[in-house]
Amino acid sequence: MTAPTLADAVAAIDDRFDGAVDAIVAADQSAAGDAAGDRYVLVSLASTCYAVLEAYVTEIDRVPRITPVPHVPVWVRGVTSVRGDIFSVVDMRAFLGLDAQPLRTARLLVVRLLTEEFSAGLLVEGVDRIVDIAADAIGAPESPLEGPLAPFLNGICTIGDRTVAVLDLDRLLRSPEIRQFEERKEDPSCEER
């Protein structure tokens, strides 16, 4: 059973690879006039798919070693260092009020504000892929959104058969919760110094 499946997989990979070459050629051809949509990173969180603008994401990585810090909410896991940059890590699951769950697919999204020098790490349950979403594809939800992230959502769109919530990272990172946390964040760094 294993062998055919592997063979199928290899064949699929071969097909995909061939398909990928064709797609690259096609993308090159269509890239000239087709600049309608923005690129979003699809992340999964609490059984929901969220879309985050790729521009805010500087790096995606596995969950690194996190150093806990005191006097912070439970959703602040601590601080970590990626390629020399030190920033806080927010567990989005805990931020949503759920229990922390170490998953094998969990990813660290290193995000930044485009307008000012601010970086943070967001722990999500998984990163699906990067997609193009047209601006007109994003619409208001039929019913008012609820939950802790509701204030930071731009709207929803449909990709394939999935409904994706578009998260406004700019608003999130500028929110009082994060900022409050950001103020505090300076203290330990001062103390470190």
Partner 1 sequence: MRRTLKIKTRLVFTVGFVAATLAGSAAVALWRLGAVETGVEQLARSDARTAADVSRAYEQAFTSLRTRLEADATVKGEPVDADSGWPATAARLQRQASDQAARSRGAMEAGGEAVRSDITRGEVAIAAALALSLLALVAVLQLFVYGPVAAEAASLVRVCDALAVGDHTCRVPNPSDTELGRVARALNQMLDNTVTLVESRAERDRMQAAVMKLLEEVSGVAEGDLTVQAEVTADVTGAVADSFNFMIGQLRQIIGQVQAASRQVSTALADLRDVTQKLAGGAEDQAAQAVEASVAIEEMAASIHYVSENASSSAAVAEQSRANAEHGTRAVTRTIEGMKAVRDQVQETAKRIKRLGESSQEIAEIVELIGDIGDRTSILALNASIQAAMAGEAGRGFAIVADEVERLADRATEATKRAGVLVKATQTEAAEVMAAMEDTTREVINRSNIANEAGVALSEIQTVSNRLAELIQAISDAAQQQARGSEQVAKSMTEMSSVTRNTASSTKQTAAAINSLALLVDNLNATVSRFKLPASGGDVAEFGHPRLVAV
Residues in binding contact with partner 1, number by CB under 8 A: 30
Closest among 105, 102, 107, 103 to 121, alpha carbons compared: 107
Using CA atoms, how far apart are residues 2 and 46, in angstroms rounded to an integer? 32
* Residue closer to partner 1, measured from CB, 71 or 129: 129
DSSP-based three-state secondary structure for 136? helix
Q: Does 100 bind partner 1 (CB under 8 A)?
A: no
Find all residues with CB under 8 Å of 37, minimum gap 6, and list them: 132, 133, 134, 135, 137
Beta bridge partners of 79: 67, 88
Span interacting with partner 1, options 53-61, 69-77, 153-161, 167-175, rule CB under 8 A: 53-61
- Contact residue for partner 1 among 29, 36, 39, 150 (CB under 8 A): 39
Q: Does 170 bind partner 1 (CB under 8 A)?
A: no
Q: Which residues bind partner 1 (CB under 8 A)?
A: 1-2, 5-6, 9, 12-13, 16-17, 19-20, 23-24, 27-28, 31, 39, 41, 54-55, 57-62, 107, 127, 129-130
